[in-house]
Amino acid sequence: MSEVRLMKGNEAAAEASILAGCDAYFGYPITPQSEIIEYLSDQGRKRGMIVMQVESEVAAINMIYGAAGAGARTMTTSSSPGVSLMQEGISYIASAELPCLLVNINRGGPGLGTIQPSQGDYFQSVKGGGHGDYHLIVLAPASVQEMADFVYLGFDLADKYRNPVLILADGALGQMMEKVVFPNYDPKAHKLPKPWATVGKTPDREPNVITSLHLHSEDMEKINLRLQEKYRKIEANEVRYELINTDGADVLMVAYGLTARICQRVIELAQQAGIKVGLVRPISLYPYPYEIISKLTEKIKGYFVVEMNAGQMVEDVRLGVNGKVPVGFYGRMGGIIPTAEEILQNLQKFVKTVSVKEKK
Amino acid sequence: MSEVRLMKGNEAAAEASILAGCDAYFGYPITPQSEIIEYLSDQGRKRGMIVMQVESEVAAINMIYGAAGAGARTMTTSSSPGVSLMQEGISYIASAELPCLLVNINRGGPGLGTIQPSQGDYFQSVKGGGHGDYHLIVLAPASVQEMADFVYLGFDLADKYRNPVLILADGALGQMMEKVVFPNYDPKAHKLPKPWATVGKTPDREPNVITSLHLHSEDMEKINLRLQEKYRKIEANEVRYELINTDGADVLMVAYGLTARICQRVIELAQQAGIKVGLVRPISLYPYPYEIISKLTEKIKGYFVVEMNAGQMVEDVRLGVNGKVPVGFYGRMGGIIPTAEEILQNLQKFVKTVSVKEKK
Amino acid sequence: MTHEILFAGFGGQGILSMGMTLAYAGIIEGKEVTWMPSYGPEMRGGTANCIVIVSDKRISSPIIGKFDALIAMNQPSLDKFESAVKPNGIIMYDSGNIIVPPTRTDVTIAAVPVDVEALKLNNLKVRNMIMVGAFLSICQVVDTGTVVKALAKVLPERYHHMLKINQEALQRGEKIVIEAATPLA
Amino acid sequence: MTHEILFAGFGGQGILSMGMTLAYAGIIEGKEVTWMPSYGPEMRGGTANCIVIVSDKRISSPIIGKFDALIAMNQPSLDKFESAVKPNGIIMYDSGNIIVPPTRTDVTIAAVPVDVEALKLNNLKVRNMIMVGAFLSICQVVDTGTVVKALAKVLPERYHHMLKINQEALQRGEKIVIEAATPLA
Amino acid sequence: MADAQVLTNGMETVWEKPRTLSETRMHYCPGCGHGVVHKVLMEVINDMGLQDKTIGVAPVGCSVIAYNYMNIDMQEAAHGRATAVATGVKRVLPDKLVFTYQGDGDLAAIGTAETIHACNRGENFLIIFINNAIYGMTGGQMAPTSLLGMVTSTTPEGRQIETQGHPIKITEMVATLPGTYYITRQSIHTPTTVRHFKKAVEKAFKHQMEKKGTCLIEVVSNCPSGWKMTPLEANKWLDQNMFPIFPPGDIKVDGKLVEKKQVISQKKEIK
Amino acid sequence: MADAQVLTNGMETVWEKPRTLSETRMHYCPGCGHGVVHKVLMEVINDMGLQDKTIGVAPVGCSVIAYNYMNIDMQEAAHGRATAVATGVKRVLPDKLVFTYQGDGDLAAIGTAETIHACNRGENFLIIFINNAIYGMTGGQMAPTSLLGMVTSTTPEGRQIETQGHPIKITEMVATLPGTYYITRQSIHTPTTVRHFKKAVEKAFKHQMEKKGTCLIEVVSNCPSGWKMTPLEANKWLDQNMFPIFPPGDIKVDGKLVEKKQVISQKKEIK
Amino acid sequence: MAVRGTVKIDIETCKGCELCVEACPQDTLAMSKEINNKGYHYAVTIQDNCTGCVNCALVCPDAVITVYRASTQKRDKDPVAVISNVKGDIKVTLDNPNVPGGVGRIDI
Amino acid sequence: MAVRGTVKIDIETCKGCELCVEACPQDTLAMSKEINNKGYHYAVTIQDNCTGCVNCALVCPDAVITVYRASTQKRDKDPVAVISNVKGDIKVTLDNPNVPGGVGRIDI
Ligand SMILES: Cc1ncc(C[n+]2csc(CCOP(=O)(O)OP(=O)(O)O)c2C)c(N)n1
Ligand SMILES: Cc1ncc(C[n+]2csc(CCOP(=O)(O)OP(=O)(O)O)c2C)c(N)n1
Ligand code: SF4
Ligand code: SF4
Ligand code: SF4
Ligand code: SF4
Ligand code: SF4
Ligand code: SF4
Ligand SMILES: [Mg+2]
Ligand SMILES: [Mg+2]
């Protein structure tokens, strides 16, 4: 299996889900993620996965609920408008604590918007687009290889915490091809027992019930507290990030996904221009790496956030920074991917302002 | 019309929508907001409003899109799970810049949760539960009178900015009765002309088109930039808040909606206990009163946020505070309304820690 | 002066409208009021209760944990809320429905046989107004006369023929407490 | 060494698979690669283009604004991207489809009559491989032999009878550039 | 128990609560049809020995906490999504038996798309459809099956065609889909109809074991609270007003549409 | 124009592009039925003088930018929600004429509930339903109306009943609803069928003016790109494969179901 | 005369809906005047003419009734009114010979 | 012989789908070998036997064809092939007398 293959990010995620032992996939076509359902309709079905194109995203997410509740490894994928339609279902899944994997190949919004890549669904993903207090574990891949790798990771985290996991990738990551290697992953060794699943009540146990309803406030608050406790555990254990060139940097960029890749180019260009910058790349968007962001404030003059949106993650960076250094931002919207050159230009302006401040 | 009436918050909002000249209502029953659709099914229909109970919340929000696009004053109301189902439609409405009024009578989540009151939909409301970069104008009433007043205000702001407005109120505000006075509001004087509405193309103009689609990224980015510009304008003009007892306070509570009412009781109790506390009550949750929160940091030892959720607005307070003073939090979940006494108890602990810090 | 009162009982006993009538009477007398139901699971039956606050000044929290008075119309309600009454507060209860009486000694307690009195009036529907009358005779939150006016507002037109019997019920309620005044004090 | 190449033309001209084949060849030679399509509105037809990066080291940004080489298969693509080629870069274009040639003077320009050559091979489907061959003879990103191996990977089994003609096309492409080498230099 | 003194020596028990029905007191209003349906469903599961093979799905509606009463593994579904959830369950557990238990609001309003597409795919499970012509749980609003002129809290002047359309006959609609195998409309307001309903449920489970496709049993039921009637009045009203619009009888049997609406057999019958 | 030299002196124009069809070049693939339908629709609106009275609603699908071609006020709806949006429009502008223009994915998959309930309420507008048995816009995935065995990008082995169910005949389903008034299945792949289709559109608009209720015209259309055929092959395939499943003809006329499927008249007919 | 059948009613769970009373072909059942702990008048047997036909149990929404039948299929005439489990002043109806006997009342 | 009808084709908008060619009962139309600016072979008239029957315009998805008809209803025989607007070496087919004439071809 260690063969090197050239694949689109969408295909890599689809292939990985087969290798990860995903039992059932339910989805609905939407650009730019349709390659996933198409790949699975061919390869997945041939290799024994239940692959269903169903009537809508609303149906799909509720089928995930049913299948996950029945103990299956299960996944759905969509893109922004389709993911919005799933918000009620996602809130139910989070509340009923059902492990499953969701993939959002983010396109430009709001509304029908454009099919070009975007990171405009950051807030929806990390703050909760659905109702109530819940969190998805959110992973942001930055390469085709990670589009595959985070599928195994996602399924495993979902099982471990009985929590839905979301892979948030912009459209370009779904569409671009890179080489990818599929590791030896034995689903049997990873899948955890699910004694709570509804598979038919045996005489030795009480009925298993999957529900998110708790009519009495006291009961519901208990559920809420249990969820919050779980989230604290996730925050303690599952923060993932990458530090690139942070040592000795004056300014650190913060970017995830594709923009993090572009920012690596910015580092190269900046070095040529004599500016010492580095990059903090959050890999888990929830739990968010507040701590490292906070810690690094001691060594730098400022953070510079780059996103393909109006500046959503900026808020999380500012929460991590807590006023200690200035936070700048550069973003593009509507499906436009910023180039390293334009980022550098804006970064330079930012560097100037923070250097001036320092002098004062 | 200056008669004083005793009404439920839901009924007051419904009555106000009739008086505000709402042309059409589309909705679906859900506790604890059903009184709105019930009141309108009776009074609204009798007084000439189009009032339709339709097949689902998804249908309702898209009917709002159609009716608003056709130039009508229009409204839908729901509660948490129903509002989650509307997220795609809301994103479309925001993107197509259609004025309309949405009401969320928030209940406890996530999932089916409980029908008891909650403020768990704060993030969904202010950060955007739907996909893409957009904002609703979000108003948080704290009394039955405001449940009515914010309906006129909401419709007017929606028209003014061509932006959807959301009234976010917890279930208790919908269910409780208080006295309410309906002002003389002449819809004709308030309704703005809508030359962009699709009412039939006349020879003197190009066709009017309501759309949120812009296939080319450059076009979509232009739309995004226009939206962002509008949001900056809203942030400059429409921040609303109330300051209670802030002069001379050592610690300020921050709370909205029903919890802001309870915090007023806390102020009374605290005074008896010799603690100097005041309250910042955000009325508009978007745009958020960051500025006043930032300004007041200079006079106080800390902020103490109270919500009926796991601590969502805390993030906005921290963004306003920007590290200058500590921010404490007390919240209840699952439909439980905190009492003034328990808030006070927790507030006292917080006051102790910030006072200790100060001494150091 | 602020009165914080809890009405509690079975659904169907007219608990919510008792509170509503009192609140409306408060409005008529120019006071500030809030009426807050505890709305239970979305099903018929079960228990119902509401908090009514009537005050001369702006009401801050409509949610309170301790009450000046409890009107308990069935056993579970009394059992649940007895301890939530402030010292020197009032507990009124329907002695027809409640077998185990309250045990607090620091509050005024009144057992009102509303069934018996209602039977005397030949109308079981006015039980709750008898209770309101009884309560107002102990704690003059509003005038009973105002309550009658409030009823005219709260009751839909088609029930206005019931106003008179309700008025009688209120008066009946007032009277029995006055009759029993000595042992209660 | 890093090569950043843009392939552009009509949908249906095999633009995306040209890039894909080159990228796969890069992998076979142990290089790092990315292939990034610009996926247009969800409709058939229209223009298509893809960026291919082949490098000896980890590729940072797959999104670039300036290219080492442009392979333009139609007029709009050439017009749009001519200026995006780096100084001293390469522009290759299909002279059968492109009437107005590039005007840049700081880059290597090669007009490739792929139609004519394809007709000589009696197979219009191999036009894109002729272009790839021509390009590789100017800029040795990978070996043409590797490209043949890559084709065996990229083409579905049922098209493997086409491998030979594609190989010929590659060689044909190489040859015509070599033939034309003097005027191009 | 007060009846303890009743002598039952030498007598056999001919009916008792099935052990698949839990001891928990049901929250339904007096006389509500939900209880009867629960009871019959659990009897069949008990009689047929399916307790360990059956997974139930009940969405939001008065029967949302059916899991408290049915002594089997269950999932609570979002409003309208029971058939989607059941599809998820059944597809991954094809050898288990799955049923949904849905109200008219759930199945025929918000869940219309899921209902129709589950039936169209011929999902191999049983849909129990409780048609009480009202939204019971949320306090008596109009349902898609509410009758014309029917007064509900959202149709205070009675349901009007102009704004609310006609009562929808979704059962007849899904019967036209090739994916459905057995479609019948039943009621449970008299002993005989209860017996018929039980037979229908047994039949549907057998079909499911044989993987025949979707079976749907509509139960024309009551909602004394929502209709503001006593249980006896409600059942009478049902007989007189619901049946003309929702006539009982089989609609599709063995995958074939029943030509003339078959009236429930009048002959004597005992369990 | 190259044809300018063609002599047309003394000739009358018997067909020209209606001015309600904009000058913008349509983005549809060569031979795609969408163009024909657009043209006929705009001809009718032109002929009947309805340009200032008509509001169109086109949801996501290949025809999402229909507003670029139709010279009338239009709204772009979310995928599946065209009838909901149209309900919003028509309810507030009851005297205007409203139509939706929806694909099979839109109308019969994600929008099933909205379709059925709009028809059930008898919303007084026209639904144009383009059934090309595929998701054209997103690149050729299976549609709810894809034929059994049909190869699409999500059914590489052909559509199978087991996982994907049967092609759904939603037109027949909504015809059973009392809210619908005129329901017909048409095609536009030959001159005659185009003429028939035009008549149907005219009829539907007349019914709308008379407030008769919902009219729905299904157009059995092609998708040369999705089907991977030339336009001529596609139209032939349509004739041979689509018609047996989706037979053309009126299904409901003047509010009454047409008993036997009426075949489109064979007699000569000219505009 | 031997008793042919009998029923046991869980009066605390009974919700007083009266459906069983309506369903009983023997008029064996009636509603108590007393209420149970939940406030409902409950069903009681007022005659011992029960045939064990199960009708009452079938229609009872709360599965409150257990039905027993004599194993021997002896069928006696002359029913005798036996009043059991009555808390209030219930009007007791004697077995009416006109009431259809047998094992099941037919309803539609 | 007088020309009965004629068509004007906007060759730059034509997408070369051939539907008009198929629809023409007179075989008046054919596809050019040349391509237009969008890369499509476009429809051209290859005979002047057009009857103005409109068929081609009806099926044309891109509303590319305008149809004219002689006001007088004279009907001549003997069609003559008139080649107009041909850019490439198109195979010109003469009017085939077996092709059904008249005003509309019947299709189902
Ligand atoms: C998304 C969503 N919308 C609305 C509701 C509120 N709700 C709960 S049950 C129900 C309808 C109940 O009616 P029905 O399905 O007929 O069941 P019944 O209670 O009559 O048995 C509604 C509207 C909800 N829980 N979720
Ligand atoms: C909520 C949502 N889901 C999915 C999509 C992607 N999408 C766009 S159009 C379409 C289907 C198009 O098929 P159809 O309605 O048959 O129209 P056609 O293109 O065939 O004319 C889909 C799935 C979307 N835009 N929004
Ligand atoms: S509200 Fe209606 S459906 Fe619900 S339990 Fe009561 S009677 Fe039954
Ligand atoms: S993809 Fe199909 S439906 Fe869409 S324009 Fe092309 S041919 Fe027409
Ligand atoms: S078993 Fe039959 S006869 Fe006996 S009480 Fe019940 S219904 Fe009456
Ligand atoms: S049917 Fe059951 S619940 Fe109803 S009265 Fe009879 S025993 Fe009681
Ligand atoms: S009008 Fe008729 S005869 Fe003339 S070219 Fe067109 S189809 Fe042929
Ligand atoms: S039908 Fe129209 S687009 Fe097609 S070839 Fe003829 S003229 Fe061109
Ligand atoms: Mg119902
Ligand atoms: Mg389609």
Query: Which tokens in the block code for residue G29?
Result: 């059942």
Amino acid B30: pLDDT: 97
* Cβ-proximal residues to G39 (8 Å cutoff; 6+ apart), any chain: C10
Burial-class residue D83 by CB neighbours within 10 Å (0-12, 13-18, 19+): exposed
Instruction: Kindly state the tokens that stand for E125.
Output: 């499970």
Q: What is the mean pLDDT of residues E79-96?
A: 98
3-state secondary structure of E209: helix
What is the bridge-based pairing of β-strands A302-307 and A327-331? parallel
**Contact (Cβ atoms closer than 8 angstroms) between residue F94 and residue F47:** no
pLDDT band at C125 (very low <50, low <70, confident <90, very high): confident
DSSP-derived 3-state class of residue E18: coil
Residues with Cβ within 8 Å of residue A22, at least 6 apart in sequence: A44, A49, A73, A74, A75, A101, A155
Six-digit token string for C167: 């008025």
Question: Residue G55: CB within 6 Å of ligand 5?
Answer: yes
Q: How many CA atoms lie within 13 A of E94 on its CB side?
A: 12
**Per-residue pLDDT at F40 exceeds 70:** yes
pLDDT at C12: 77
Query: Ligand 3 pocket, E99 CB below 6 A?
Result: no
| Per-residue model confidence as pLDDT tens digits over B181-190 | 999 999 999 9
Q: What is the pLDDT of residues E131-174, one digit of tens each?
A: 999 999 999 999 999 999 999 999 999 999 999 999 999 999 99
Which tokens in the block code for residue B218?
A: 């450059």
| E168 Cβ under 8 Å from any chain F Cβ | yes
Q: Are E226 and E132 in contact (CB under 8 A)?
A: yes
**pLDDT class of A29 with cuts at 50, 70, 90:** very high
* Percentage of residues in chain B having pLDDT higher than 90: 97
Please name the residue of chain A whose CA is at the shortest distance from the CA of residue D33.
Answer: A178
Whether F contacts D, i.e. 3 or more CB pairs less than 8 A apart, is yes
φ, ψ (nearest 5 deg) of residue B244:
-125, 120
pLDDT at H32 over 70: yes
Nearest to B169 by CA among B135, B151, B142, B148: B142
Give the up-direction half-sphere exposure of residue E206: CA atoms within 13 A in the CB hemisphere.
Answer: 9
Q: What is the count of residue pairs from B and C with beta carbons less than 8 Å apart?
A: 69
- C41–E contact, CB cutoff 8 A: yes
Contact D42 F29 (CB under 8 A): no
Neighboring chains of H (3 or more beta-carbon pairs < 8 A): F
Rounded alpha-carbon distances, angstroms, from residue A243 to A293, A312, F164 = 10, 21, 47
Q: Could you read off the pLDDT of B101-155 as tens digits, one per residue? A: 999 999 999 999 999 999 999 999 999 899 999 999 999 999 999 999 999 999 9
What's the rounded mean pLDDT across residues B63-92?
98
* CATH number for the domain whose boundaries are E34-257: 3.40.50.970
Residues with CB under 5 Å of ion ligand 9 are: E 103-104, 132, 136
- The CB of E28 under 6 Å from ligand 3? The reply is yes
Neighbours of B201 (CB within 10 A): 22
No. of helices (H) and no. of strands (E), chain H: 2, 4
User: Residue-wise over G40-72: b if at least 16 C-beta within 10 A, else e?
Assistant: bbbbbbbbbbbbbbbbbbbbbbbbbbbbbbbee
The two three-digit tokens of residue A265, written as one number: 């180019």
- Indicate yes or no: CB of F78 within 8 angstroms of CB of B62: yes
Q: Residue F30 Cα, ligand 4 centroid: separation in angstroms?
A: 8
**Residues within a 6 A CB radius of ligand 6:** G 9, 14-20, 42-43, 60, 62, 64-65
The pLDDT of residue E4 = 39
How high is the pLDDT of residue E234?
98
Q: Give mean pLDDT, residues C8-17.
A: 86
Q: At A26, is the pLDDT very low, low, confident or very high (cuts 50, 70, 90)?
A: very high
Over residues B274-326, the pLDDT tens digits come to: 999 999 999 999 999 999 999 999 999 999 999 999 999 999 999 999 999 99
Among protein residues, the one with the nearest Cα to ligand 3's atom 8 is E32
pLDDT band, very low/low/confident/very high, at B241 (cuts 50, 70, 90): very high
Nearest to B41 by CA among E163, E164, E156, F121: E156
Contact, D169 vs D118, CB < 8 A? Answer: yes
With a 6 Å cutoff on the Cβ, whether F135 touches ligand 2 is yes
The response to whether residue F62 sits with its C-beta less than 6 Å from ligand 2 reads: yes
Mutate to test the pocket of ligand 3, among E25, E32, E237 (most ligand atoms within 8 A of CB): E32
Nearest CA in chain A to E75: A210
ipTM for the predicted complex: 0.93
How distant is the alpha carbon of residue H27 from its chain centre? 7
Q: Contact partners of C by the rule of 3+ C-beta pairs under 8 A?
A: A, B, E
Top pLDDT among B344 and D13 is at B344
Average pLDDT over residues F229-253: 98
Alpha carbon distance E171, B284 (integer Å): 47
F32 lines ligand 4 (CB under 6 A): yes
Per-residue pLDDT tens digits for G42-55: 999 999 899 999 99
Instruction: Write down all domains in chain B, each with its CATH number in brackets.
Output: 4-237 (3.40.50.970), 242-359 (3.40.50.920)
Model confidence at H39, pLDDT cuts 50, 70, 90, reads confident
Predicted pLDDT of residue C45 = 55
The C-alpha atoms of residue F270 and residue A15 are separated, in whole angstroms, by: 56
Q: How far apart are CA E253 and CA A331, in angstroms?
A: 62
Residue B151, C-beta contacts closer than 8 angstroms, at least 6 positions apart? B13, B16, B17, B20, B101, B167
Flag whether G touches D (3+ CB pairs, 8 A cutoff). no
pLDDT at position F83, please?
98
Contact B74, F92 (CB under 8 A): yes
Is it the case that residue C72 has pLDDT exceeding 70? yes
Indicate the pairing of strand E126-131 with strand E214-220: parallel
pTM beyond 0.80: yes
Band the pLDDT of C153: cuts 50, 70, 90. Answer: confident
- Between CA A178 and CA F111 the distance in angstroms is 37
pLDDT digits (tens, 9 = 90+) for A140-178: 999 999 999 999 999 999 999 999 999 999 999 999 999
Reported as a pLDDT band with limits 50, 70 and 90, residue F7 is low
* CB-CB neighbours of F5 under 10 Å: 8
Partner-chain contact A315 B319, CB within 8 Å = yes
Give first-to-last CA distance, chain A, whole Å: 59
Token readout for D32 is 């790092």
Q: What is the pLDDT of residue C11?
A: 75
Across all residues in chain A, what is the average pLDDT? 96
Q: Which of B92, B224, B225 sits opposite A112 (nearest CB)?
A: B92
**pLDDT, average across residues B21-49:** 98
Residue C75 has, within 13 A of its CA and on its CB side, a CA count of 8
d(CA E170, CA E216): 11
What per-residue confidence (pLDDT) applies to F209?
Answer: 98
Distances (CA, A) of B213 to B210, E226, F34: 9, 44, 19
With beta carbons less than 8 A apart as the criterion, state whether A40 and A14 touch: yes
**Ligand 7 nearest-atom number relative to CA F14:** 1
What pLDDT shows up at residue F226? 95
| Strand order across the A209-210 sheet | A209-210, E73-77, E54-59, E97-103, E126-131, E214-220, E180-187, E249-253, E256-257
Q: Is C124 helix (H, G, I), strand (E, B) or coil?
A: helix
- Give residues with Cβ within 8 angstroms of B229, minimum separation 6: none
Residue with more model confidence, D158 or F218: F218
Among all ligands shown, which has an atom nearest to the Cα of B114?
1
What's the CA gap between B238 and B288, in Å, rounded? 9
* pLDDT score recorded for residue B360: 52
pLDDT digits (tens, 9 = 90+) for D160-184: 888 999 999 999 999 888 776 544 4
Q: Name the residue of chain A whose CA is nearest to C42's CA.
A: A215
Question: How far, in Å, CA of C166 to CA of C151, rounded?
Answer: 8
E174 phi and psi angles, rounded to 5 deg: -70, -20
E63 Cβ inside 6 Å of ligand 3: no
Ligand nearest to the CA of H55: 7
Answer whether B52's CB lies under 8 Å from B22's CB: no
Residue C85 φ then ψ, to 5°:
-85, 135
B178 touches chain C (CB under 8 A): yes
> What DSSP string runs through H58-105?
HH-TT--EEEEEESS------------S--S-PPPPPPPTTS--SS--
Q: Can you give the pLDDT at residue F3?
A: 42
The residues near F244 (Cβ < 8 Å, ≥ 6 apart) are none
* Cβ proximity of D53 and D33 under 8 Å: yes
Beta bridge partners of D108: D90
Q: Is F197 a residue whose pLDDT tops 90?
A: yes
Residue B194 has pLDDT above 80, yes or no: yes
The tens digit of pLDDT for each residue in F55-91 reads 999 999 999 999 999 999 999 999 999 999 999 999 9
Furthest-apart CA atoms within chain C: distance in Å: 44
CA distance A319 to chain E (A): 35
Comparing CA positions, the residue from B183, F150, G16 lying closest to residue E231 is G16
Helices (H), C6-126: 15-28, 75-81, 114-120
> CA A300 to CA B10: how far, in whole Å?
52
pLDDT tens figures, D103-147: 999 999 999 999 888 989 988 889 999 999 999 999 999 999 999
Residue D100 CB burial class (10 angstroms; 0-12, 13-18, ≥19): exposed
pLDDT at D156 over 90: no
pLDDT of residue B359: 54
pLDDT of residue G100: 30
Nearest CA to CA, how far is F1 from chain H (Å)?
7
Cα distance from C46 to chain E (closest Cα, Å)? Answer: 9
Instruction: Please tell me what DSSP assigns to residue F109.
Output: I
Mutate which of G12, G60, G66, G67 for ligand 6? The one with the most ligand atoms within 8 Å of its CB, which is G60
For chain C, the domains span 2-182
Is the pLDDT reported for residue F163 higher than 50? yes
pLDDT at res. H74: 46
Residue A360's pLDDT band, with cuts at 50, 70 and 90, is low
Closest alpha carbon to A36 in A173, A183, A152? A173
Nearest residue (CA) to ligand 6, atom 6: G20
What is the third-level CATH fold of C2-182?
Pyruvate-ferredoxin Oxidoreductase; domain 3 (3.40.920)
Q: How confident is the model at residue F166 (pLDDT cuts 50, 70, 90)?
A: very high
Record: contact F3-H84, CB cut-off 8 A: yes
Q: Does pLDDT of C98 surpass 70?
A: yes
- Ligand nearest, relative to CA of residue E34: 3
Q: Is E121 on the interface with F (CB under 8 A)?
A: yes
Distance (Å) from the alpha carbon of A268 to chain D's nearest alpha carbon: 9
Task: Provide, for chain D, the percentages of residues in helix, strand and coil under a 3-state DSSP scheme, each rounded to the nearest 5.
Answer: 45, 25, 30
D112 contacts D173 by C-beta, under 8 angstroms: yes
Determine the 3-state secondary structure of D166 from DSSP: helix
Please tell me the predicted confidence (pLDDT) of residue G91.
34
Chain F touches chain C, with at least 3 Cβ pairs below 8 Å, answer no
Distance CA H15, CA F230 (A): 12
Cα A134 to chain center, whole Å? 15
- The answer to whether residue C40 scores a pLDDT higher than 70 is no
What pLDDT is recorded for position A355?
85
A 10 A CB-CB count for D141 gives 26
Mean pLDDT estimate for chain E: 93
Pairing state of beta strands C67-72 and D85-94?
unpaired
Q: What pLDDT is stored for residue D180 in this prediction?
A: 63
What pLDDT is stored for residue D40 in this prediction? Answer: 61
Does C13 have pLDDT greater than 50?
yes
Asked if residue B171 lies in contact with residue B106, where contact means CB atoms within 8 angstroms, the answer is yes
Min Cα separation A114/chain F (Å): 12
pLDDT single digits (tens) H52-108: 999 999 999 999 999 999 975 444 433 333 334 444 333 333 333 333 322 222 222
Ligand 4 pocket test target in F153, F223, F237 with most atoms within 8 Å of CB? F223
Q: Which of G64, G66, G85 to mutate to test the pocket of ligand 6 (most atoms within 8 A of CB)?
A: G64
The tokens of A191 are what? 């899948």
Q: Do chains E and C touch (3 or more CB pairs under 8 A)?
A: yes
